[in-house]
Chains A and B, each alone.
Chain A
Amino acid sequence: NAGVTQTPKFQVLKTGQSMTLQCAQDMNHEYMSWYRQDPGMGLRLIHYSVGAGITDQGEVPNGYNVSRSTTEDFPLRLLSAAPSQTSVYFCASSYTPTSGLNEQFFGPGTRLTVL
């Protein structure tokens, strides 16, 4: 049971480049989410999904796209990278989308630098 996996661990992009951050979970969780963590700030929700085929925006969605074609995978796409997107990105999953009291399982993170 690998839990939540993320690739790559590190990435450097130039302004304007696009890329996809991969996230997968093997726990058959319905709810998946993407967060970014910036210095001096808490984790902020980018996008989330309550099940395959269903996605929605979180607190800071601009510049990012997501899709959820399977229960296991939830990739995050940066359409045209900007220096403001330099951050650490975490993917998380939870068994059910119906209660925030349930713990979320986080991946190890992707550290992204945009030059």
Chain B
Amino acid sequence: DQQVKQNSPSLSVQEGRISILNCDYTNSMFDYFLWYKKYPAEGPTFLISISSIKDKNEDGRFTVFLNKSAKHLSLHIVPSQPGDSAVYFCAAGRGLPNDMRFGAGTRLTVKP
């Protein structure tokens, strides 16, 4: 059962515009949420996280929004840069890291 879903396999945006990546989850007990970025032939790298007690977390150009009532998470990248082109994974879990579940990923392409 896929508890974390990223329904858009790909997204293309113009450089300088906003990129919005979406993620839905089914388990209301999840209390932590993370985004990872992955370039080809490399392992995922951590981008940003948020706990369930918050609804927004910002780190530079990256902002994660959490809507617990809708069980929805989004990552905003503003402004988008060509170097942001990668696959983005949403992850969520409860308590311990071994409980984490990953979405299938969204491939973001930022065009110059």
Contacts and interface: CB of A to CB of B under 8 A. Distances in A.
Contact of A90 (B43, B91, B96, B100): B43
A100 B4 contact: no
A42 B98 contact: no
Contacts, number: 70
A33 B99 CA distance: 12
B43 A100 contact: no
Given A48-B98, A100-B97, A106 B45 contact: yes
Contacts of B49: 101, 103
Q: How large is the interface on B (under 10, 10 to 19, 20 to 34, 35 or more residues)?
A: 20 to 34
A94 interface: yes
B102 A33 contact: no
Interface of A: 4, 31, 33, 35, 40-45, 48, 56, 58, 90, 92, 94, 97-109
